[in-house]
Structure 1
Amino acid sequence: MKKFGFVFSLFAASMFAGEWTGTISDAKCAKAHADASEKSMSCVKGCVKGGQAAVFVTGDKVIKIGNQDKVTEHLGHKVTVTGNLEGDTLTIASVKMAS
């Protein structure tokens, strides 16, 4: 039983719920298009349409998005997201344009 509790506590500690502000970019260009400019938005949309995964860029971190469908309307935008971060993957609960 002690082993189960220890393993469960490790799993619980690796998941982090929160709110973050950053930019929706693409896996190929990532931080290079995190400025939310018109040029960057156009490139991000083209790269995602071409098969690249959308990613969330905040500060110097590039985070995978587990549920890509949540960000299709926000490609290239600066947004605030809520969700769960587990390892290097963010599962988004909500997304809204950042002010």
Structure 2
Amino acid sequence: MQNKSQLYAKSFANLYKCAEVCPTNALHPNFPADTLLRPQFSSACLILQNQTCPDCQTACPQQAISSTLEIDNERCNGCGECKITCFVAAITLK
């Protein structure tokens, strides 16, 4: 029986082969995946209530949310990190 490190090495090698032949490039590490979902902010959002809360902006790995909650659609990929970090549940993705 193979040891675990050999098994993992084979698994990663096979994944790389899949990435090479994938016609959509979905498995390529530099593939710019976009869910086409964008954050929508409800009235529960603290920024809309004139309070300070940069959590969604800070959590966004694409830096797509401005301080006025405008979304840069060229940067946003719909990952949902903003929604996950919002502790008042003011963000939905649509």
Q: Under a length normalisation based on structure 2, what TM-score does the superposition of the two structures give?
A: 0.34
* Structure showing the higher strand proportion among its residues: 1
Computing the radius of gyration from Cα coordinates, the structure with the larger value is 2
